[in-house]
A = this chain, B = another copy of it.
Amino acid sequence: MQLRIPGPTPLPDEVLEAMNRQMINHRGAEFRAIMQDVTERLQHCFQTEGDVLVFPGSGTGGLEAAIANIFSPGDTVISMPVGAFGERFAEIAERFYLDVWRVPSPWGQAANLEQLESALCSMPWTKAVLIAHNETSTGVQSDIEAAVRIAHKYGALVVVDAISSMGAVDIPVDRWGVDVAITASQKAWQAAPGLTMLSVSEAAWRAHAKAKLPRFYWDFTEAKRYLQRWETPYTPAVSLLYGLQTSLHLIMEEGLPNVFARHERIRDQVRAGARQIGFKPFAPDQIASRTVTALYAPEGQSARDIVTAMRERGVIVAGGQGKYEHTALRIGHMGFVSAEDVDVVLEELEAVVGVN
Protein backbone atom coordinates (compact mmCIF):
# COMPACT_ATOMS: atom_id res chain seq x y z
CA MET A 1 0.00 0.00 0.00
CA GLN A 2 1.16 3.53 -0.79
CA LEU A 3 0.03 6.03 1.85
CA ARG A 4 0.48 9.38 0.11
CA ILE A 5 -1.58 11.83 2.11
CA PRO A 6 0.02 14.93 3.63
CA GLY A 7 0.72 13.06 6.86
CA PRO A 8 0.74 10.67 8.57
CA THR A 9 3.43 9.35 6.25
CA PRO A 10 4.67 5.78 5.97
CA LEU A 11 7.27 4.85 8.58
CA PRO A 12 10.65 3.33 7.69
CA ASP A 13 11.10 -0.19 9.10
CA GLU A 14 13.78 1.12 11.44
CA VAL A 15 11.32 3.59 12.98
CA LEU A 16 8.62 0.95 13.44
CA GLU A 17 11.18 -1.32 15.03
CA ALA A 18 12.39 1.42 17.36
CA MET A 19 8.83 1.93 18.62
CA ASN A 20 8.61 -1.79 19.35
CA ARG A 21 10.60 -1.36 22.56
CA GLN A 22 9.49 -1.75 26.15
CA MET A 23 8.73 1.19 28.42
CA ILE A 24 11.48 2.73 30.52
CA ASN A 25 11.55 5.09 33.47
CA HIS A 26 11.09 8.62 32.10
CA ARG A 27 13.11 9.92 35.06
CA GLY A 28 16.06 7.62 34.38
CA ALA A 29 19.42 7.90 32.57
CA GLU A 30 18.29 5.92 29.51
CA PHE A 31 15.44 8.32 28.85
CA ARG A 32 17.58 11.38 29.43
CA ALA A 33 20.06 10.21 26.81
CA ILE A 34 17.22 9.85 24.29
CA MET A 35 15.82 13.27 25.10
CA GLN A 36 19.22 14.89 24.71
CA ASP A 37 19.91 13.13 21.41
CA VAL A 38 16.46 14.04 20.03
CA THR A 39 16.78 17.66 21.12
CA GLU A 40 20.26 18.16 19.71
CA ARG A 41 19.33 16.55 16.40
CA LEU A 42 16.21 18.68 16.16
CA GLN A 43 18.35 21.77 16.73
CA HIS A 44 20.54 20.61 13.84
CA CYS A 45 17.53 20.12 11.55
CA PHE A 46 15.92 23.41 12.59
CA GLN A 47 19.37 24.98 11.98
CA THR A 48 19.23 26.72 15.33
CA GLU A 49 21.39 27.08 18.38
CA GLY A 50 18.33 28.24 20.29
CA ASP A 51 15.85 26.09 22.13
CA VAL A 52 13.75 23.37 20.54
CA LEU A 53 10.98 22.02 22.77
CA VAL A 54 9.06 18.78 22.26
CA PHE A 55 5.53 18.25 23.57
CA PRO A 56 3.21 15.24 23.42
CA GLY A 57 0.52 16.52 21.06
CA SER A 58 -0.33 17.07 17.42
CA GLY A 59 0.78 19.98 15.24
CA THR A 60 -2.41 21.83 16.15
CA GLY A 61 -1.26 21.56 19.75
CA GLY A 62 2.02 23.15 18.69
CA LEU A 63 0.15 26.09 17.16
CA GLU A 64 -1.87 26.48 20.36
CA ALA A 65 1.33 26.27 22.42
CA ALA A 66 2.88 29.11 20.43
CA ILE A 67 -0.18 31.31 20.92
CA ALA A 68 -0.58 30.56 24.64
CA ASN A 69 3.11 31.15 25.36
CA ILE A 70 3.77 34.35 23.42
CA PHE A 71 0.67 36.49 23.82
CA SER A 72 -1.71 38.20 26.20
CA PRO A 73 -5.45 38.62 25.57
CA GLY A 74 -6.10 41.56 23.24
CA ASP A 75 -2.68 41.49 21.58
CA THR A 76 -2.83 42.31 17.90
CA VAL A 77 -1.51 39.76 15.44
CA ILE A 78 -1.57 39.73 11.67
CA SER A 79 -2.49 36.38 10.22
CA MET A 80 -1.68 35.47 6.61
CA PRO A 81 -4.06 32.64 5.69
CA VAL A 82 -3.63 31.18 2.20
CA GLY A 83 -5.72 28.05 2.83
CA ALA A 84 -7.49 25.88 5.43
CA PHE A 85 -4.57 25.52 7.83
CA GLY A 86 -3.65 29.21 7.82
CA GLU A 87 -7.29 29.85 8.63
CA ARG A 88 -7.07 27.34 11.50
CA PHE A 89 -4.06 29.18 12.91
CA ALA A 90 -6.03 32.47 12.83
CA GLU A 91 -8.97 30.74 14.49
CA ILE A 92 -6.81 29.44 17.35
CA ALA A 93 -5.55 33.00 17.90
CA GLU A 94 -9.14 34.26 18.00
CA ARG A 95 -10.17 31.57 20.44
CA PHE A 96 -7.35 32.82 22.67
CA TYR A 97 -8.79 36.33 22.56
CA LEU A 98 -6.16 37.88 20.33
CA ASP A 99 -7.11 40.72 18.02
CA VAL A 100 -6.54 38.99 14.70
CA TRP A 101 -6.14 41.01 11.52
CA ARG A 102 -6.31 38.79 8.45
CA VAL A 103 -4.24 39.46 5.34
CA PRO A 104 -5.57 36.57 3.26
CA SER A 105 -4.58 35.36 -0.17
CA PRO A 106 -6.81 33.38 -2.52
CA TRP A 107 -6.35 29.60 -2.37
CA GLY A 108 -3.43 28.60 -4.59
CA GLN A 109 -1.47 31.77 -3.97
CA ALA A 110 1.28 32.55 -1.47
CA ALA A 111 1.18 35.02 1.41
CA ASN A 112 0.95 38.57 0.10
CA LEU A 113 3.99 40.32 1.54
CA GLU A 114 3.19 43.75 0.10
CA GLN A 115 -0.10 43.72 1.95
CA LEU A 116 1.72 42.46 5.04
CA GLU A 117 3.96 45.51 4.92
CA SER A 118 1.07 47.95 4.56
CA ALA A 119 -0.84 46.24 7.38
CA LEU A 120 2.19 46.50 9.66
CA CYS A 121 2.67 50.09 8.61
CA SER A 122 -0.90 51.00 9.60
CA MET A 123 -0.82 48.89 12.81
CA PRO A 124 2.63 49.44 14.29
CA TRP A 125 1.42 47.97 17.59
CA THR A 126 1.22 44.50 15.99
CA LYS A 127 2.86 41.93 18.26
CA ALA A 128 3.43 39.21 15.69
CA VAL A 129 2.75 37.82 12.25
CA LEU A 130 1.26 34.31 12.03
CA ILE A 131 2.19 32.64 8.78
CA ALA A 132 2.29 29.14 7.32
CA HIS A 133 5.44 28.20 5.51
CA ASN A 134 3.77 25.35 3.69
CA GLU A 135 -0.01 25.42 3.31
CA THR A 136 -1.09 21.78 3.32
CA SER A 137 -4.53 22.40 1.84
CA THR A 138 -3.22 24.02 -1.36
CA GLY A 139 0.39 22.91 -1.70
CA VAL A 140 1.71 26.44 -1.60
CA GLN A 141 4.92 27.64 0.00
CA SER A 142 5.26 31.21 1.23
CA ASP A 143 8.43 33.27 1.51
CA ILE A 144 9.28 33.19 5.20
CA GLU A 145 12.68 34.83 4.87
CA ALA A 146 11.09 37.94 3.34
CA ALA A 147 8.17 37.90 5.79
CA VAL A 148 10.59 37.91 8.73
CA ARG A 149 12.60 40.77 7.20
CA ILE A 150 9.45 42.87 6.86
CA ALA A 151 7.95 41.96 10.25
CA HIS A 152 11.14 42.60 12.19
CA LYS A 153 11.43 46.04 10.56
CA TYR A 154 8.19 46.88 12.37
CA GLY A 155 9.18 45.18 15.62
CA ALA A 156 6.77 42.26 15.16
CA LEU A 157 7.67 38.65 15.88
CA VAL A 158 7.09 35.94 13.27
CA VAL A 159 5.43 32.68 14.29
CA VAL A 160 5.73 30.13 11.52
CA ASP A 161 3.55 27.10 10.98
CA ALA A 162 6.21 24.85 9.45
CA ILE A 163 4.28 21.72 10.42
CA SER A 164 4.41 20.10 7.00
CA SER A 165 7.73 21.44 5.74
CA MET A 166 10.35 21.59 8.51
CA GLY A 167 12.75 18.69 8.04
CA ALA A 168 12.07 18.44 4.30
CA VAL A 169 12.75 22.01 3.23
CA ASP A 170 15.63 24.35 4.01
CA ILE A 171 14.36 26.64 6.79
CA PRO A 172 17.42 28.09 8.52
CA VAL A 173 15.62 29.30 11.63
CA ASP A 174 18.52 31.30 13.10
CA ARG A 175 19.74 32.83 9.83
CA TRP A 176 16.24 33.92 8.81
CA GLY A 177 15.40 35.02 12.35
CA VAL A 178 12.21 32.98 12.72
CA ASP A 179 10.89 33.55 16.25
CA VAL A 180 8.81 30.43 16.69
CA ALA A 181 8.70 27.56 14.18
CA ILE A 182 6.27 24.70 14.75
CA THR A 183 6.36 21.22 13.27
CA ALA A 184 4.95 17.76 14.01
CA SER A 185 6.34 14.23 14.01
CA GLN A 186 4.05 12.68 11.39
CA LYS A 187 5.07 15.02 8.58
CA ALA A 188 8.56 15.27 7.06
CA TRP A 189 10.04 13.57 10.12
CA GLN A 190 8.70 10.16 8.98
CA ALA A 191 7.73 9.35 12.55
CA ALA A 192 4.39 8.46 14.14
CA PRO A 193 1.94 11.26 14.97
CA GLY A 194 1.69 12.59 18.51
CA LEU A 195 4.70 14.88 18.98
CA THR A 196 4.98 18.57 18.20
CA MET A 197 8.31 20.39 18.15
CA LEU A 198 8.89 24.15 18.40
CA SER A 199 11.90 26.43 18.20
CA VAL A 200 11.91 29.55 20.36
CA SER A 201 14.08 32.61 19.59
CA GLU A 202 15.52 34.99 22.17
CA ALA A 203 12.94 37.61 21.21
CA ALA A 204 10.17 35.01 21.58
CA TRP A 205 11.46 34.19 25.08
CA ARG A 206 11.27 37.88 25.97
CA ALA A 207 7.67 38.05 24.74
CA HIS A 208 6.92 34.83 26.62
CA ALA A 209 8.09 36.38 29.88
CA LYS A 210 5.30 38.97 29.59
CA ALA A 211 2.61 36.74 28.05
CA LYS A 212 -0.48 36.40 30.22
CA LEU A 213 -2.52 33.78 28.37
CA PRO A 214 -3.18 30.77 30.61
CA ARG A 215 -1.00 27.72 30.10
CA PHE A 216 0.39 24.84 32.09
CA TYR A 217 0.72 21.84 29.79
CA TRP A 218 2.34 23.83 26.98
CA ASP A 219 4.35 26.16 29.20
CA PHE A 220 7.72 26.91 27.57
CA THR A 221 9.37 27.89 30.87
CA GLU A 222 8.56 24.57 32.52
CA ALA A 223 9.59 22.62 29.43
CA LYS A 224 12.93 24.43 29.32
CA ARG A 225 13.49 24.03 33.05
CA TYR A 226 13.08 20.26 32.86
CA LEU A 227 15.10 20.10 29.65
CA GLN A 228 18.13 21.39 31.60
CA ARG A 229 18.37 17.82 32.91
CA TRP A 230 16.93 16.28 29.69
CA GLU A 231 13.58 15.52 31.26
CA THR A 232 10.02 16.72 30.69
CA PRO A 233 7.56 18.31 33.15
CA TYR A 234 5.18 15.33 32.87
CA THR A 235 5.24 11.86 31.34
CA PRO A 236 6.57 12.10 27.78
CA ALA A 237 5.31 9.97 24.87
CA VAL A 238 8.19 7.52 25.23
CA SER A 239 7.43 5.21 22.26
CA LEU A 240 7.00 8.15 19.91
CA LEU A 241 10.34 9.54 21.03
CA TYR A 242 11.98 6.16 20.34
CA GLY A 243 10.64 6.46 16.80
CA LEU A 244 11.55 10.11 16.32
CA GLN A 245 15.07 9.50 17.56
CA THR A 246 15.57 6.79 14.95
CA SER A 247 14.04 9.01 12.25
CA LEU A 248 16.41 11.80 13.11
CA HIS A 249 19.33 9.39 12.78
CA LEU A 250 18.09 8.32 9.34
CA ILE A 251 17.63 11.94 8.24
CA MET A 252 21.08 12.96 9.39
CA GLU A 253 22.69 9.89 7.82
CA GLU A 254 21.15 10.90 4.51
CA GLY A 255 22.29 14.46 5.23
CA LEU A 256 20.04 17.50 5.41
CA PRO A 257 21.09 18.94 2.01
CA ASN A 258 20.37 15.57 0.38
CA VAL A 259 16.99 15.35 2.10
CA PHE A 260 16.11 18.84 0.89
CA ALA A 261 17.26 18.04 -2.67
CA ARG A 262 15.29 14.77 -2.70
CA HIS A 263 12.10 16.59 -1.75
CA GLU A 264 12.65 19.17 -4.45
CA ARG A 265 13.27 16.50 -7.11
CA ILE A 266 10.19 14.58 -6.05
CA ARG A 267 8.04 17.70 -6.07
CA ASP A 268 9.12 18.34 -9.67
CA GLN A 269 8.49 14.71 -10.59
CA VAL A 270 4.96 14.82 -9.16
CA ARG A 271 4.06 18.05 -10.92
CA ALA A 272 5.51 17.07 -14.30
CA GLY A 273 3.97 13.61 -14.16
CA ALA A 274 0.55 14.86 -13.05
CA ARG A 275 0.46 17.49 -15.79
CA GLN A 276 1.24 14.82 -18.39
CA ILE A 277 -1.91 12.91 -17.49
CA GLY A 278 -4.23 15.89 -17.42
CA PHE A 279 -4.02 17.24 -13.88
CA LYS A 280 -3.32 20.89 -13.17
CA PRO A 281 -1.51 21.94 -9.99
CA PHE A 282 -3.10 24.60 -7.80
CA ALA A 283 0.20 26.33 -7.17
CA PRO A 284 2.35 28.07 -9.78
CA ASP A 285 5.82 26.54 -10.11
CA GLN A 286 7.71 29.24 -8.24
CA ILE A 287 5.64 28.82 -5.04
CA ALA A 288 5.00 25.08 -5.28
CA SER A 289 5.27 23.14 -2.04
CA ARG A 290 8.04 20.55 -1.81
CA THR A 291 5.98 18.22 0.38
CA VAL A 292 2.38 18.26 -0.87
CA THR A 293 0.81 18.87 -4.26
CA ALA A 294 -2.82 19.85 -4.70
CA LEU A 295 -4.15 19.05 -8.16
CA TYR A 296 -7.29 19.91 -10.06
CA ALA A 297 -8.79 16.75 -11.52
CA PRO A 298 -8.91 16.60 -15.34
CA GLU A 299 -11.85 18.44 -16.87
CA GLY A 300 -15.14 16.60 -16.34
CA GLN A 301 -13.79 14.09 -13.82
CA SER A 302 -14.73 13.86 -10.15
CA ALA A 303 -11.77 14.19 -7.81
CA ARG A 304 -13.66 12.19 -5.20
CA ASP A 305 -14.15 9.30 -7.59
CA ILE A 306 -10.48 9.39 -8.45
CA VAL A 307 -9.51 9.25 -4.76
CA THR A 308 -11.85 6.29 -4.27
CA ALA A 309 -10.57 4.44 -7.32
CA MET A 310 -6.97 5.04 -6.23
CA ARG A 311 -7.75 3.63 -2.81
CA GLU A 312 -9.10 0.46 -4.39
CA ARG A 313 -5.78 0.15 -6.19
CA GLY A 314 -3.83 0.52 -2.97
CA VAL A 315 -2.76 4.15 -3.25
CA ILE A 316 -4.15 6.47 -0.60
CA VAL A 317 -4.22 10.13 -1.61
CA ALA A 318 -6.16 12.92 0.08
CA GLY A 319 -9.23 14.73 -1.21
CA GLY A 320 -9.45 18.43 -1.84
CA GLN A 321 -10.30 20.63 1.12
CA GLY A 322 -13.19 23.02 1.60
CA LYS A 323 -14.82 24.11 -1.63
CA TYR A 324 -12.35 22.00 -3.63
CA GLU A 325 -13.70 18.77 -2.21
CA HIS A 326 -15.09 17.65 -5.59
CA THR A 327 -12.59 19.20 -7.95
CA ALA A 328 -9.21 18.60 -6.37
CA LEU A 329 -7.05 15.98 -4.72
CA ARG A 330 -3.81 16.18 -2.80
CA ILE A 331 -0.71 14.03 -2.89
CA GLY A 332 1.65 14.02 0.07
CA HIS A 333 5.32 13.49 -0.75
CA MET A 334 7.24 14.14 2.43
CA GLY A 335 9.54 12.19 4.67
CA PHE A 336 9.87 8.54 3.71
CA VAL A 337 9.28 8.86 -0.04
CA SER A 338 11.33 7.95 -3.10
CA ALA A 339 11.12 8.54 -6.86
CA GLU A 340 9.92 4.93 -7.18
CA ASP A 341 7.04 5.61 -4.79
CA VAL A 342 6.00 8.57 -6.91
CA ASP A 343 6.22 6.43 -10.06
CA VAL A 344 3.68 4.06 -8.53
CA VAL A 345 1.34 6.91 -7.59
CA LEU A 346 1.54 8.43 -11.08
CA GLU A 347 1.04 5.10 -12.83
CA GLU A 348 -2.07 4.37 -10.80
CA LEU A 349 -3.33 7.91 -11.31
CA GLU A 350 -2.94 7.51 -15.05
CA ALA A 351 -4.70 4.14 -15.01
CA VAL A 352 -7.56 5.61 -13.02
CA VAL A 353 -8.18 8.72 -15.09
CA GLY A 354 -7.74 6.67 -18.28
CA VAL A 355 -10.51 4.22 -17.29
CA ASN A 356 -12.55 6.57 -15.09
Chain A residues near B (Cβ < 8 Å): 1, 3, 5, 7-11, 16-17, 19-28, 56-61, 64, 68, 73, 91-92, 95-97, 184, 186, 192-194, 213-217, 219, 233-240, 243, 311, 316, 318
Residues of B contacting A21 with CB < 8 Å? 16
| Contact call B235/A58, Cβ cutoff below 8 A | yes
Out of B10, B26, B28, B233, name the residue touching A23 (CB < 8 Å). Answer: B10
The listed residue (B24, B59, B235, B240) touching A234 by CB distance below 8 A is B59
Can you show 8 pairs from A to B with CB atoms below 8 A apart? A5-B25, A56-B56, A57-B217, A58-B234, A58-B236, A193-B238, A194-B238, A240-B240
A238 to chain B, nearest CB (A): 6
Interface pairs A-B: 4 shortest CB-CB: A194-B237, A60-B234, A8-B23, A192-B239
What's the number of copies of this chain in the assembled complex?
2
Minimum CB–CB distance from A46 to chain B (whole Å) comes to: 20
Q: Is the CB of B194 within 8 A of A240?
A: yes
How many Å lie between the Cα of A227 and that of B112 in the bound state?
Answer: 36
Chain B contacts for A17, CB-based, 8 A: 20
What residues of chain B lie closer than 8 Å to A184, measured between beta carbons? 235
Listed residue (A19, A57, A64, A194) with the most chain B CB atoms within 10 angstroms of its CB: A194
A60 touches B95 (CB 8 A): no
| Interface pair B19/A193, CB less than 8 Å apart | no
Taking CB atoms, residues of chain B closer than 8 Å to A214 are 68, 73, 95-97, 213-214
Question: A186 to chain B: which residues have CB within 8 Å?
Answer: 23, 235, 238
A187 to chain B, nearest CB (A): 9
Contact between A7 and B193, CB atoms less than 8 A apart: no
Q: Which residues of B contact A234 (CB under 8 A)?
A: 58-61
Q: How far is the CB of A203 from chain B (nearest CB, A)?
A: 23
Contact of A3 among B7, B24, B58, B59 (CB under 8 A): B24
Residues of B close to A57: CB separation below 8 A:
56-57, 61, 217
Whether B316 pairs with A28 at a CB distance below 8 angstroms is yes
Q: Given A25-B3, A193-B237, A239-B192, are A217 and B19 neighbors across the interface (CB < 8 Å)?
A: no
